[in-house]
C-alpha cells in the first residue's frame, strides 16, 4: 500500500478487511513499523528481503507457530510489493513459509468430529412446548438447532431477523441483508431454508421458531432480531453470546467442550450431511463457502464413534 495515498483512501482500503482480520493485521503491521523504524526503513518501500527478515525475527523472538506467522505474512502483503506481485505470493516467501511449517507446524484443530445425533438426543429432552420450561433452555435449544441445521457461523445466526423471514406451516426461510464474513462483490449467503420435520416435533426447527416467537412476543420492545437475550432487557444477542450458549449445550450433551468449540457445529453438521449423501455443491451453497475445497480441507472430518457403544446400539 503506497505511503503516497491519502489518509481517507487508506481508511477506505482498511474497510475491505473483516473486523477480526483487521484487528489481527493491525498488531503485526504495528510491529512491522517498529521494526522498520529501528532500521531506518520506509515500511511502504521495504524490500522483500526486509519482510522475510522481519518474519524471521518474529519466529525467533516469539513462541508463535506457522499460523501466526502466516497472518503476519498476509499483513505484509498489504504494504510490500515486488514487480506488482504481492509479498505473500512471491516464490521466496512461499518457500520460507514452507520452512516455518516444517519447524513449527500448525495441525488441524479437529482430526475427528463428534456424533451430532448425541446433541440432538439431548435437545430432544428440552420440552420447548411446555410454558414452564425456562426461556434460557428454549433459547439455547433454538440457537444450537439453527447452527446445526444451517451449517452457519454464529455471526449468521445472530443476524437472523424476523422482518426478513418467511414462516409457513412447512418451512421457515431467512434472508440475511447484512454483510457477513463470507460476503464479497457478487456473492452473498443464500437464503437459509429450514423445513418442517414431521417425524419429531421436539427437534423440528419450524415448530421451534414458532414457539420461540410466541414466548418472546411480549419481550421484544421493537427488537426484530430473531434471538434475544433471556435476561432483561432482552436485547438481541451477539455472535459471541451465541457461541457461549452453543458451547454450554455441547458440554451438557456430553461433548468435550475443551476440545470442541461452538464453531465445531459447522463442521459436525456438514460432515454428517456429507456422510448421508448430500452433494458437495449443496453443502457449499448452504454453508456459504467459496468453493468445495474449503469444506474438504477444513471442515470434513470423520465422525468419532466408540466401538463398544456402536456394537451395543
User: What domains can be seen in the chain, in order of their start residue?
Assistant: 7-103 (1.10.150.130), 116-312 (1.10.443.10)
User: In angstroms, rounded to a whole number, what is the distance separating the alpha carbons of residues 39 and 49?
Assistant: 13
Q: Is 305 helix (H, G, I), strand (E, B) or coil?
A: coil
Q: Tally Cβ neighbours within 10 Å of residue 275.
A: 11
Q: Which of 42, 65, 216, 33 is nearest to 142 (CA)?
A: 216
CA atoms within 13 A on the CB side of 242: 28
Contact residues for 25 (Cβ-Cβ < 8 A; gap 6+): 17, 71, 74, 75, 78
Query: What is the model's pTM?
Result: 0.65
pLDDT score recorded for residue 150: 84
By DSSP bridging, strand 171-174 and strand 165-167 are antiparallel
pLDDT score recorded for residue 61: 86
pLDDT score recorded for residue 97: 92
CA atoms within 13 A on the CB side of 285: 9
pLDDT score recorded for residue 73: 93
pLDDT score recorded for residue 291: 61
pLDDT score recorded for residue 312: 42
pLDDT score recorded for residue 307: 41
pLDDT score recorded for residue 193: 85
C-alpha cell, 6:
491519502
* Helix, strand, coil percent content, the chain, rounded in steps of 5: 55, 5, 40
pLDDT score recorded for residue 16: 63
* Per-block mean pLDDT, blocks of 10 residues, the chain (313 long): 60 65 83 92 89 92 86 89 82 92 75 77 90 93 89 83 89 77 58 85 90 91 89 89 90 81 72 69 64 55 50 41
Amino acid at each position: 500500500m503506497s505511503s503516497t495515498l491519502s489518509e481517507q483512501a487508506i481508511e477506505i482500503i482498511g474497510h475491505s478487511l473483516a473486523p477480526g482480520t483487521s484487528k489481527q493485521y493491525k498488531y503485526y503491521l504495528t510491529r512491522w513499523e517498529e521494526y522498520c523504524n529501528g532500521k531506518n526503513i520506509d515500511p511502504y518501500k521495504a524490500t522483500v528481503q526486509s519482510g522475510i527478515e522481519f518474519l524471521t525475527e518474529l519466529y525467533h523472538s516469539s513462541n508463535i507457530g506457522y499460523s501466526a506467522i502466516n497472518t503476519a505474512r498476509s499483513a505484509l502483503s498489504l504494504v510490500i510489493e515486488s514487480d506488482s506481485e504481492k509479498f505473500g505470493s512471491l516464490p521466496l516467501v512461499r518457500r520460507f513459509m514452507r520452512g516455518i511449517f516444517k519447524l513449527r507446524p500448525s495441525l488441524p484443530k479437529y482430526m475427528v468430529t463428534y456424533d451430532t445425533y448425541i446433541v440432538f438426543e439431548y435437545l430432544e429432552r428440552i420440552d420447548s412446548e411446555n410454558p414452564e420450561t425456562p426461556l434460557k433452555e428454549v433459547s439455547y435449544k433454538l440457537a444450537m438447532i439453527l447452527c446445526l441445521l444451517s451449517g452457519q457461523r454464529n455471526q449468521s445466526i445472530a443476524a437472523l431477523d424476523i422482518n426478513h423471514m418467511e414462516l409457513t406451516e412447512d418451512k421457515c426461510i431467512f434472508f440475511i441483508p447484512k454483510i457477513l464474513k463470507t460476503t464479497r462483490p457478487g456473492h452473498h449467503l443464500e437464503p437459509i431454508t429450514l423445513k418442517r420435520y414431521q417425524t419429531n416435533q421436539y427437534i423440528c426447527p419450524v415448530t421451534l421458531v414458532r414457539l420461540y416467537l410466541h414466548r418472546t412476543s411480549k419481550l421484544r420492545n421493537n427488537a426484530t432480531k430473531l434471538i434475544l437475550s433471556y435476561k432483561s432487557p432482552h436485547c438481541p444477542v451477539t455472535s459471541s453470546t451465541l457461541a457461549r450458549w452453543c458451547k454450554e449445550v455441547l458440554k451438557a450433551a456430553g461433548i468435550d467442550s475443551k476440545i470442541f468449540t461452538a464453531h465445531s457445529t459447522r463442521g459436525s453438521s456438514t460432515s454428517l450431511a456429507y456422510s448421508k449423501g448430500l452433494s458437495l455443491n449443496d453443502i457449499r451453497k448452504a454453508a456459504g463457502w467459496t468453493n468445495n475445497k474449503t469444506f474438504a480441507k477444513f471442515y470434513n472430518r470423520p465422525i468419532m464413534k466408540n466401538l463398544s457403544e456402536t456394537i451395543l446400539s
